[in-house]
Amino acid sequence: MNSISETDLIINPDGSIYHLNLRPEDIANTIITVGDPDRVEVVSKYFDKIDKKVSKREFVTHTGYIGNTRLSVISSGIGTDNVEILMNELDALVNVDLPTRTIKQEHTSLNIVRIGTSGSLQESIPVDSYVVSKRGIGFDALGHFYPTPTSSFSEAIQSQLNLDFLSYTSFGSEKLYDLLFDDKNPLYFEGNTVTCPGFYAPQGRILRYTPKQENLLQKFNQFSFQGSVLTNLEMETAGYYLFGELLGHEVLSMSAIVASRMTHQFSKNPEKHTESLIQQVLEKITGL
């Protein structure tokens, strides 16, 4: 079998993978990802035991146990460019034999849950609620470089929003959705999540410029296709789902809604709200 070149798959002298600085034994098969590196310890403080702490750039990893369940929590920093590195390197850690740089015969599928923050696009999804993304719609450029399926949803967005580019649409794990969506909690909403390549103009925020896309927020809010609307804006989900589908991992993105973009309300305590989502996920995920 052909081996992957030293510049395509860079391994550090200590045997760890280039950016994450992790060796295969340093990660669990169930991984929680967060954007903010400071949020890693907000998750790992609930672990009964932490046996590994590694950090490099924005990628901070803690691995340990809750009861008998081994878990890792890793921060990605902001944006799908970081998710591209994170997902490729996590996949290589389990599906490539690093010493020989060859793809393993047996495929390992990771369970990956993003716990992030997000802004809601519908008045019916209030601040301090939760969105569990069924779809991720990528407005970023990853879809130009990785195979992404043709999507009538993305085509409808292009035409209704009058965009001169086509987004890509990918889907989260049904297995993790069924496990983690709390249908008894009225604050849980199913999501068609728009992943933006920026926080300001790509999310309809206007500071000291005239944005190229006019009335973007209103257009996001009013979009509808086959009974589905766009629910929320953030900056990673579509990237995660693209690699979940491409590389065969179970991936789910869950967002604490900290801003209601239609009513202009911001959460009074976004940290507490996000930590409450972390607690709910940890209670359910330990059975995996």
In whole angstroms, give the CA distance from residue 165 to residue 167: 7
For tokens 């507490």, the residue is 272
Region near ligand URA per CB under 6 A, out of 103-111, 128-136, 137-145, 231-239: 231-239
- Of ligand URA, ligand R1P, none, which one sits near residue 236, judging by CB under 5 to 8 A according to partner kind? ligand R1P
> Which partner in ligand URA, ligand R1P, none is near 34 (CB below 5 to 8 A by kind)?
ligand R1P
Q: Is 221 or 232 the residue whose CB approaches ligand R1P more closely?
A: 232
Q: Which stretch binds ligand URA (CB under 6 A): 62-70, 162-170, 230-238, 277-285?
A: 230-238
| Among 113-121, 145-153, 155-163, 182-190, the segment contacting ligand URA (CB under 6 A) | 113-121
Is 194 in contact with 230 (CB distance < 8 Å)? yes
Pairing of strands 30-34, 69-75: parallel
36 binds ligand R1P (CB under 6 A): yes
Burial of 288 by CB count in 10 Å (0-12 exposed, 13-18 middle, 19+ buried)?
middle
Residues binding ligand R1P: number (CB under 6 A): 10
Among 79-87, 111-119, 149-157, 168-176, the segment contacting ligand URA (CB under 6 A): 111-119
| Per-residue mark of binding to ligand R1P, 113-142 (x: CB under 6 A) | ---xx-------------------------
Q: Which is nearer to ligand URA, 44 or 117 (CB)?
A: 117
CB 184 → ligand URA: shortest distance, Å? 26
258 near ligand URA (CB under 6 A):
yes
Question: In the numeric block, which tokens belong to residue 124?
Answer: 């019916």
Type of residue at 147: P
Contacts of 251 (CB under 8 A, 6+ apart): 112, 113, 114, 172, 173, 176, 240, 241, 243, 244
Q: In the structure encoding, which two tokens stand for residue 218, read together? A: 């209103």
Q: What is the Cβ-side half-sphere exposure of residue 85, based on CA atoms within 13 angstroms?
A: 19
Q: Could you tell which of ligand URA, ligand R1P, none binds residue 177, using a CB distance below 5 to 8 A set by kind?
A: none
Q: What is the DSSP letter of 100?
A: T
Binding at 97: pick from ligand URA, ligand R1P, none (beta carbon under 5-8 Å per type): none
In the bound state with ligand URA, the residue whose beta carbon lies nearer, of 62 and 273, is: 273
Task: Tell me if residue 222 falls in helix, strand or coil.
Answer: helix
- Kindly give the pairing relationship between strand 111-120 and strand 250-260: parallel
Residue at 193: amino acid letter: T
Strands 265-266, 49-56: pairing is unpaired
- 172 binds ligand R1P per the rule CB under 6 A: no
- Comparing CB distances to ligand R1P, the nearer of 101 and 205 is 205
Are 286 and 179 within 8 A, CB to CB? no
Residues lying near ligand URA in the complex (CB under 6 A) are found at: 117-119, 199, 203, 233-235, 258-259
Residues lying near ligand R1P in the complex (CB under 6 A) are found at: 34-36, 78, 116-117, 199, 234-236
